[in-house]
Amino acid sequence: MITEHTPVESSGDSTRAECDDLTCDQTLDPPLATRWVVPGVLYIVATPMGNLADMSARAIAVLQGVDVIACEDTRHARKLLDHFAIRNRVVALHEHNEAGRATQIAVWLSEGQAVALISDAGTPAISDPGSLLVRRLAELGHTVSPIPGACAAITALSASGLDSTHFWFEGFLPAKAQGREARLHALANLPATLIFYEAPHRIAAMLHAVCAELGGERQAVVGREITKRFESFIRGTLTQVCAALDDHSLPERGEFVVMVAGREPTAPAAEEGIAVARLMDALIAEQAPASMIARVLTQLTPLKRNEAYALVQTRLSGADQADAL
């Protein structure tokens, strides 16, 4: 059965705070604004996914205290920065200029300037530009410090009810059908919750591909517009989720986090049994003693010594009967 949760309306504008106790002027006292900023450090600063009330005091202080803020889109970032009265220098860092910008930021850090990296929403370098920058700076010996906050994948997983002990974050699948299907095929046997991001114009093709490749019976949860006014979660099998999309119960609007249950352990257990049988047959064919075969099985499988020995004896009895025939 599919259920959908929509929170109480707060604000339709994701660029302004969605609670009454925040004011537009969030300027902190100078001691606090510089308390967490060290010269020559790159700060990876997480920002809200849509509700500005989720911005932490430390994140505000760091952004107010650094010399330069690098961001994906300067116009988009300016809305956030203006809200918190942050007037620092802003430069663009995106997938097309990240390598060159990394070189420039390394120079600034060497000069003792502090730099912050933000993305359009959430945690930078997670399915967003930033990982190349961090890698380059770390190789040069510069300090990189994370300022934690919103992350769509973790936020959605916490509300999914799916296995959160073992999960695989995939991010965006390839846009082309062939690449998407190949990647899903590679993920199909993972015994962990799969987490994907998807854009509204590709969500239909993506969900139907996931259903076809992983099987419609798998449990799935789709989070849409998380932390925003029209936040919702659709829960059910992949077949049911696709049906909700087709009948418009799940609108093709906003940003999506798609979570799919991992493969059940029953199938891998059966395959493991076949592998154990083949291993025993190979050792029996080499005329290895039963005690040696049992010892090998206990080393390579979860079987206990007595269980392995009994299994070998059963297998040997079957082989003897086949030889007698």
The mean pLDDT value for 43-71 works out to 96
31 pLDDT above the threshold of 60: no
Q: Helices (H), strands (E): how many in the chain?
A: 12, 10
The pLDDT tens digits of the residues spanning 64-109 come to 999 999 999 999 999 999 999 999 999 999 999 999 999 999 999 9
The mean pLDDT value for 20-29 works out to 44
pLDDT band, very low/low/confident/very high, at 277 (cuts 50, 70, 90): confident
How far is it, in rounded angstroms, from Cα 103 to Cα 97?
10
Range with lowest mean pLDDT among 13-17, 176-180, 299-303: 13-17
The pLDDT tens digits of the residues spanning 148-207 come to 999 999 999 999 999 999 999 999 999 999 999 999 999 998 989 999 999 999 999 999
Helical H runs in the chain?
30-35, 57-65, 74-83, 98-110, 131-139, 152-158, 177-187, 203-214, 238-246, 266-285, 290-300, 305-324
27 pLDDT above the threshold of 80: no
pLDDT band, very low/low/confident/very high, at 281 (cuts 50, 70, 90): confident
Residue 324: predicted pLDDT: 42
| Among 153, 166, 170, 171, residue whose Cα is nearest residue 263 | 166
The C-alpha angle with vertex 243 and arms to 241 and 246, in degrees rounded to 5, equals 115
- Of residues 47 and 1, which shows the higher confidence score? 47
Residue 316: predicted pLDDT: 82
The pLDDT tens digits of the residues spanning 209-249 come to 999 999 999 999 999 999 999 999 999 999 999 999 999 88
The mean pLDDT value for 264-270 works out to 53
Helix (H) or strand (E) holding 237: strand 232-237
Residue 257: predicted pLDDT: 98
Residue 90: predicted pLDDT: 97
14 pLDDT above the threshold of 50: no
- DSSP-derived letter for residue 75 is H
Residue 299: predicted pLDDT: 83
The pLDDT tens digits of the residues spanning 106-134 come to 999 999 999 999 999 999 999 999 999 99
The C-alpha angle with vertex 181 and arms to 175 and 184, in degrees rounded to 5, equals 105
How far is it, in rounded angstroms, from Cα 60 to Cα 39?
17
